[in-house]
Amino acid sequence: MPVLLALLILFVLGSRRAREPPVDPQPAPIVHSPLVPVLLQHGATAVAEHGDVSSVIFGWSAIAVATTLFGLTYALIMTERFNRANVAMLAAGLMVLLGVINQHQAVVGVDFNTIGLLIGMMLIVAVTRETGVFQYLAIWSAKKVKAKPWGILLMLAVVTAVTSAFLDNVTTVLLIVPVTLVLTEELEVPPYPFLFAEILFSNIGGTATLIGDPPNIMIGSQVEYITFLDFMVNLGPVVIVVMIATIFPIWLIWGRKMTASDEARQRVMEFDEKAAITDKPLLVKCLVVLGLVTFGFIVGHPYGFEPATVAITGGALLMILSNLGRKIDEKNERTHHFFGHVEWTTIFFFVGLFIVVAGVEHAGLLNMLADEIVERTEGDRAAISIAVLWVSAIASAIVDNIPFVATMIPTLKTVIADLGMSQSDSMALWWSLALGACMGGNGSLVGASANLIVAGFAERAGQRIKFTTFMLHAFPMMLMSIAICHVYITWRYL
């Protein structure tokens, strides 16, 4: 499980002394579950602090039930044999039904700021995609480099990164990949290097802003003192360095060998990018609203306007503007169409995941993990930050980075509170988590949602991306990016 993996890596990175025998706090007698006895032995303090929930079924220990559900949830998600939203929602329901938390605690555990931000941005993108602007960007980029394969790969990678930063990387690849497949087919070149680059650059570019990647959305939503501008100022510089560094191995592996016939390049040059824009008045409205939303993200926080409020308002405004002058039946039909493009599976995955994490937090598991982190690193801020960076990267390459970050946010909050860190001192931990989780997602096909979406498109186009092939290429590049982030975090914050 990722939590156990985290503890193991923290032991290797941060342990400086032998572990002292745990002190028995002599909690009130409880009926122990036969499940996870070792965990219960070392978790006595956490259970004593949080209280063993009396309503847990059969009188079992809350921490045993919560840990078992948490582990099974991760395991089932990792197998990819079940829809992850189904798994998360079932686990959330069992957290309540088995008595680990009650329904009120479950609802409180859902971060509606993250949910609102995701829905709002998905609605904005749903309207914007009607204009054809993404197809325009892809064709324009290809023609700017005279339809040379390496130039197209580079341009599409940069467009993917920039777009991912200001929309989100999942939506970006949904819109860019189909055009990429058309271009590579016309050029008669293998699409894999192009799709590979777009996966990496979508995650790298999404790291730069609060709205670019789901882990950042969660961090920005749940850490009150981090703003949209903070993400850009603190993560933007290292993202640019990583982008430049990532170009070189891609060029060495594929770029220097890429060629296309003059006839194939001419076919691409004949594409009309202007014809891709299907609704210019709507495009203007989209750009205005997107500009206002971005402005709201930057300046809204000091006035109490959270990103969810800004995004939902922007989405609603854009839908109204897009429907001006239409009959009511058409307005209703278009509104249903836009809401149909919201990734409700992802939304409910987040809802279920938040409730599962609330369960293990209430039971005391995350406090135990926080205590382990502090103990293994002796409370050293630099050691904790670097450990979080590397643990997040490795774990995010093994499982989807979203559930990992959902678990780590409350854990780091406890660590920060236990050590009495100031807001400025704690920034190193949050940036380490963001960089590790977002860029660590490049380590494998299951590391991030955008990776799986690109792989799905490729398979439907008859260009299956093999898990091992991708990992052999991507994992070393991911380690390179984390090494760069390690230097950056140490130089700037430690």
Q: Encoding tokens for residue 493?
A: 């914050």
Q: Encoding tokens for residue 306?
A: 């959270």
Residue-by-residue pLDDT tens, the chain, 494 positions: 444 444 444 433 443 333 344 444 444 333 333 333 333 333 333 344 444 444 677 778 888 888 888 889 878 877 778 888 898 899 999 999 998 989 999 998 888 888 888 899 889 988 988 898 888 888 888 888 888 999 999 999 998 999 888 877 777 887 788 888 888 888 888 899 999 999 999 999 999 998 888 889 889 888 988 988 999 999 999 999 999 999 999 999 998 888 888 888 888 888 888 888 999 999 999 999 989 998 888 888 778 888 889 989 999 999 999 999 889 999 999 999 999 988 888 888 889 988 988 888 888 877 777 777 777 877 889 999 999 999 889 888 876 677 788 888 988 998 898 888 999 899 999 999 999 999 998 998 877 778 877 887 787 778 788 888 898 999 999 999 999 999 999 999 98
Q: Which of 322, 340, 358 is the last residue of a domain?
A: 340
Residue 40 Cα to chain centre, angstroms: 32
Residues 288 and 379 in one domain: no
Q: Is 221 contained in some domain?
A: no
Q: Is 219 contained in some domain?
A: no
Residues 155 and 96 in one domain: no
Domain that holds residue 130: 114-213+227-340
- Which residues have a Cβ under 8 Å from the Cβ of 18 and sit 6 or more positions away? none
Q: Is 147 contained in some domain?
A: yes
Residues 143 and 94 in one domain: no
What pLDDT is recorded for position 43? Answer: 38
Q: Is 218 contained in some domain?
A: no
Separation in Å, CA 63 to CA 7, 44, 57, 407, 415: 17, 10, 12, 15, 19
Residues 349 and 298 in one domain: no
Residues 168 and 315 in one domain: yes
Q: Is 220 contained in some domain?
A: no
Number of Cβ atoms within 10 Å of the Cβ of 96: 18
pLDDT tens-digit series, residues 9-18 = 443 344 333 3
Residues 178 and 155 in one domain: yes
**Rounded distance between C-alpha atoms, residue 157 and residue 86, angstroms:** 33
**Rounded distance between C-alpha atoms, residue 85 and residue 348, angstroms:** 6
Residues 437 and 470 in one domain: yes
| DSSP helix/strand/coil, 395 | helix
Residues 288 and 200 in one domain: yes
Q: Which of 293, 316, 340 is the last residue of a domain?
A: 340
Residues 448 and 482 in one domain: yes
**Rounded distance between C-alpha atoms, residue 28 and residue 8, angstroms:** 30
Could you identify the residue written with the tokens 């990016």? Answer: 481
- List alpha helices for 80-222, DSSP H: 84-97, 103-109, 112-128, 133-144, 149-166, 169-187, 192-206, 214-222
Q: Does the CA dihedral 370-373-375-381 come out positive or negative? A: negative
Q: Is 286 contained in some domain?
A: yes
Residues 7 and 56 in one domain: yes
Q: Is 222 contained in some domain?
A: no
Strand locations in 309-467 (E):
none
Residues 120 and 104 in one domain: no
Q: Which of 340, 370, 400 is the last residue of a domain?
A: 340
Q: Encoding tokens for residue 417?
A: 């509170």
- Which residues have a Cβ under 8 Å from the Cβ of 26 and sit 6 or more positions away? none
Helix (H) or strand (E) holding 5: helix 2-14
Contact 444, 397 (CB under 8 A): yes
**Rounded distance between C-alpha atoms, residue 183 and residue 178, angstroms:** 9
Q: Is 359 contained in some domain?
A: yes
Contact 120, 272 (CB under 8 A): no
Residues 310 and 399 in one domain: no
Contact 173, 160 (CB under 8 A): yes
pLDDT tens-digit series, residues 252-295 = 999 888 888 888 888 888 888 888 899 999 999 999 998 999 88
Q: Does the CA dihedral 418-423-427-433 come out positive or negative? A: positive
pLDDT tens-digit series, residues 19-74 = 344 444 444 333 333 333 333 333 333 344 444 444 677 778 888 888 888 889 87
Contact 470, 367 (CB under 8 A): no
Residue 417 Cα to chain centre, angstroms: 25
Q: How many domains does the chain have?
A: 2
What pLDDT is recorded for position 285? Answer: 93
